[in-house]
Copies of this chain bind each other. A is one copy, B any other.
Amino acid sequence: MTYTPPVRDHAFLLGEVLKIDRYADLPGFAEAPMDVVHQILEEAGRFTAEVLAPLNSVGDKEGCVWKPDNTVTTPSGFKEAYQALVEGGWPALGAVTQYGGQGLPAVVNLSFSEMSSSANMAFSMYPGLTHGAYSAILNGGSQAQKDLYLPKLASGQWCGTMNLTEPHCGTDLGLLRTKAVPQGDGTYRISGQKIWISGGEHDLAENIVHLVLARIEGAPAGTRGISLFIVPKFIPDADGRPGERNSVYCAGLEEKMGIHGNATCVIQHEESLGWLVGEENRGLNLMFVMMNEARIGVGLQGVAQAEAAYQAAASFAKERLQGRSLTGPKNPDGPADPIIVHPDVRRMLMDSRAIVEGGRAFLFWTALQGDLAHASPDEAVRQKGDDYMALMTPVVKGFLTDRGFRVCSDALQVHGGSGFTEHFPASQYVRDCRITMIYEGANGVQALDLVGRKLAAAGGRAVMTFFAEIDAYIETREGDAQLKPWLQGLAAAKAELQDATMWLMQNGLANPDNAGAASSDYMHLFGLTALAYMWTQMVEAAQAKIDAGDADPFYAAKVATGRYFLERVLPDSAAHLAKLKTGAESLMALPAEAF
């Protein structure tokens, strides 16, 4: 499985569209001027393409193996690759310097994450979840907990997990039963079964730090009685070295459609020893720190799988000779033309580019908002960053994975019958990508989070700011003839989104089912509008280079793909608006027993 890291596109986004050099006076950004970033991108590309990509198919075919002694073996080569990852310092890229990290902006770290996930999604989940555990302790842990765990998690020397789901509760964590009994010495004994724990057990690192949701004996029922605990697989000794084995075990692995290289574990806590993180009964808030970060990471996986699948499809389409172009032979000396001459094959490839490049821009733009929320000295910028992060997270997660999966399915389609066989990579991308629409909150939950919580927060401040930003952007460029089609497309999409938002405000209050019924179409309309904004900015940046005489075909391709987005992707927005305005009635008309 070959993978060509999109270094050029990342550099374009960071350097020419988002122009991160303008934040050089902010912490983190100071350490990442574009020339340094470019070196990081090159090295990240090399590492992911050379070390991780070759193991992607191995991981799919071998899978992880559970043994009756409750150990789990990862696929051949994963252990060595993980060691190389840690030695290369990659997990530390986005961690704070105080605990051994390199302190780079999240938007730069995202580049590595995308490449890593494209090259080998199942593998990349191990360090991905470790970073989530790191964030939860960084945000909620005591100083002692930080000192003990953060350096090990930041470096990747130890791995981390999230222990949320139980057999009877996934989305609805209020039903959670795992029990924590205080031991009187500040520790707890935790009992219960957790399922679907990614990286819950494996042979990659010397310790695994589980972050576990459990209910302290006597705590209130529902979501207000849930606390967060650190449960290390090996209890650190006085020197912080892995000591006694804790009574937390992997009782088996799930058989799954994809991501076979990642161990999805049933985890038994048999009075395992745990330490409370933060306050009692406030565990869900801390878990949402991890969760929100993870949701951006899952949106990224959608784009990353789509990128990798697109690459495989494009390369197949250029090589496979079959039939002739409708406008006369393009490969007259060969037995047939490469299938890329066919407009319908192009349609699928251009769709993929429009979603992948637009989606990547949206991801990077959102991550930059998060960086500014932390690093800016300007309170207004920080607030806008926070608002945008909250508002965009469900869109990034839900829209980009829904669309990313479609790209993977199209990439398989370009392969024809070969795509359905496991000799080509297309099937794995479809199977691996499918989980992104589900985990960290199924996309329906994302859509509901968007319309039910994020839109209304602070009186709709975030979405109003977004509309005003787009209006100002368009107004400033009013005379730009070249950009006009994109400005018009953006204005139209934004008007539709605004219309939908008004409809929601009026009808969602009258009947909450109207909000639920509209949610998925609203999320997609939002995503399309966000991508229209991204594409307009990318076309603007590319066109500026072309106008200045830059003949790099990258810029011409960017403008052409931007046009495709406008003509062939954006028209879906009107259908989403029309559907959502029909309300809940036709969805809810049937009694449950009619299904």
Contacts and interface: CB of A to CB of B under 8 A. Distances in A.
Interface of A: 165, 168-172, 175, 196, 254-258, 314, 317-318, 321-323, 326-327, 335-336, 338, 340-350, 405, 409, 412-413, 416-417, 419-423, 427, 430-431, 434-435, 437-439, 442-444, 447-448, 452, 511-513, 515-517, 519-520, 553, 557, 560-561, 563-564, 567-568, 571-572, 574-575, 578-579, 582, 584, 586-595
Contacts of A338: 592
A593 B165 CA distance: 46
A422 B255 contact: yes
B430 A434 contact: yes
A516 B343 contact: yes
Contacts of A171: 322-323, 416
Interface of A is mostly: helix
A511 B327 contact: yes
A420 B442 CA distance: 12
Given A257-B431, A560-B589, A564-B586, 13 more contacts: A172-B336, A257-B420, A344-B444, A344-B517, A413-B442, A416-B442, A419-B438, A420-B434, A553-B594, A563-B586, A564-B587, A567-B579, A568-B586
A335 B412 contact: no
The CB with the most chain B CB atoms within 10 A, among A345, A346, A427, A567, is that of A346
So how many copies of this chain end up in the complex? 2
A439 B419 CA distance: 11
Nearest to A346: B587
Given A349-B595, A557-B594, A595-B314, A343 B588 contact: yes
Most chain B beta-carbon neighbours within 10 Å: one of A165, A336, A345, A416: A416
A168 B511 CA distance: 58
Contacts of A175: 322, 335-336
Q: Which of A340, A427, A444 has the most CB of B within 10 A?
A: A444
A419 B258 CA distance: 11
A185 to B, nearest CB: 34
B595 A340 contact: yes
A347 to B, nearest CB: 6
A578 B392 CA distance: 28
B326 A512 contact: yes
A595 B317 contact: yes
A97 to B, nearest CB: 37
